[in-house]
Amino acid sequence: MTELRMRDALREALREEMIRDSRIFLLGEDIGAYGGSYAVTKGLLEEFGEERVKDTPIAESGIVGVGIGAAMAGLRPMVELMTINFSFLALEQIVNSAAKLHYMSNGQIRVPLVIRMASGGGSPLAATHSHSLEGLYAHFPGLNVVCPSNAADAKGLLKRAFRDENTTIFIEHTAIYGVKGEVPDDPDFVVEFGKANILRAGSDVTIVGYSGSVHQALRAATLLEQDGIEAEVIDLRTLRPLDMGTVIASVKKTNRAVIVEDDWKFGGFGGELSAQIMEQAFDWLDAPVARVSGKDVPMPYNRNLEFAALPSEEDVVEAVLAMM
C-alpha cells in the first residue's frame, strides 16, 4: 500500500492501463504538455509520446466524437473534459451515440470509451464550472456512471472502466483531488462496478453519499456519535450500475435514511434513491427518507456564498436529529 493523493492515484491507473493495453490512448484539452487542468495526466506525454497522449482544440463535441469513432474501430480511448458543465457541448454525442450504438446496431457495435470529467463545488470556479450533474448521466441506459470518493477507489474504478465494453462516465470531485489515502500497489487491483462500500457501521441511521458528499457524511457521523447516535455511512461508488441491495439492507437495520449530495434537490439523484428506499423498505422505515442537497441556485463565485450553497455536515446532523 502507498499513500497517494487522488490525482496521483488516477495518474497511476492511467499509466498502468496504458502499459497493459497498447490500444489505450488519451485525448483532451491541455492533457499533454500542461499535464491536465488538475495535473492528473502530468508526465504521461513524456512517457508515452504524442501518438497516445493527444492535446485537442477546445471543442468538446469533436473530442468526444473522435473518442467514439476510435472506440468503434477497436481502440480504447479516454477523453478528458475539463468540467462536467462543459460536457453539455458533447451531450448529443454521449447520449445519442456512445450510449445507444450498441443497442441500435443489434450488438454489432461497441463503444469502450472512458470519459473523465471534473465535478462539484468547493474550489471557487463559479456557476459554469462547479455543479454536480452525476444524476443527469445516470438517467441514460447504456452508460456506466462512476463517482469515486477516495484515492483507492479512484484507481480501482478507473482501471475497471478501461476493461469495460461500454462507455463509462467517470466523474471526479474537484475538491478532493488532493485528499490522500492508502492505495494498493497491485497493478491488477480493480474495484467492480455496482458494489457500494460501507465505510462505517451503525445501528441508528443510514447515511448514503457519493463522490464529495461521502466526506460530509463521515464527518456528520462523527458529530452524531457525540450525541450517542451510531450512523452507518454508505459510499455508492457508482450510480449506474447502482447497488441498492446494500442500501436497502442497511435501512432495514437502522430504520432511517438520509441521502447527501451536492446536486440540487429538485430533480436530483437523491430523489431516485429516496423513491427506491420507499418502494423497497417502506415497512422498515420509522421516518420519511431525508435528503440533504445543494441550494437551488447557480453556484456562486464568492467562497463564503459557495459554501452556503453546498450541503454541510451540520445540515446532515440536523436532518438526522429531526427524525430521531
Say which of 60, 80, 172, 261 is annotated catalytic.
Answer: 60
Instruction: Say whether 129 is catalytic.
Output: yes
In the chain, % of residues over pLDDT 70: 100
Where are any strands of DSSP class E within 60-112?
76-81
Distance CA 249, CA 133 (A): 27
Work out the average pLDDT over 2-8.
97
- CA–CA distance from 4 to each of 162, 187, 200 (Å)? 21, 15, 22
pLDDT band at residue 232, thresholds of 50, 70 and 90? very high
Distance CA 51, CA 284 (A): 56
User: Which segments of the chain belong to CATH 3.40.50.920?
Assistant: 197-323
Where are any strands of DSSP class E within the chain?
2-5, 24-28, 53-55, 76-81, 114-119, 143-146, 167-173, 180-183, 197-200, 205-209, 231-235, 238-240, 257-264, 290-294
Task: Say what the pTM is.
Answer: 0.96
Work out the average pLDDT over 166-191.
95
CATH 3.40.50.720 fits 2-183, yes or no: no
Mean pLDDT of the chain: 96
C-alpha cell at 134: 452525476
User: How many helices and strands in the chain, by DSSP H and E?
Assistant: 12, 14
Residues 9-51 have pLDDT tens digits of 999 999 999 999 999 999 999 999 999 999 999 999 999 999 9
Instruction: Say whether 102 is catalytic.
Output: no
Secondary structure of 217-231 as H, E, C letters: HHHHHHHHHCCCCCE
User: Which segments of the chain belong to CATH 3.40.50.970?
Assistant: 2-183
Position 123 pLDDT exceeds 90:
no
| Amino acid 95: pLDDT | 97
Residues 291-309 have pLDDT tens digits of 999 999 999 999 899 999 9
Least confident of 74-88, 119-133, 160-174: 119-133
- Counting every residue, how long is the chain? 324
Q: What class does CATH assign to 197-323?
A: alpha beta
C-alpha cell at 224: 452524531
Say which of 129, 131, 173, 215 is annotated catalytic.
Answer: 129
186 Cβ partners below 8 Å, 6+ apart?
none
Work out the average pLDDT over 237-257.
98
| Amino acid 277: pLDDT | 98
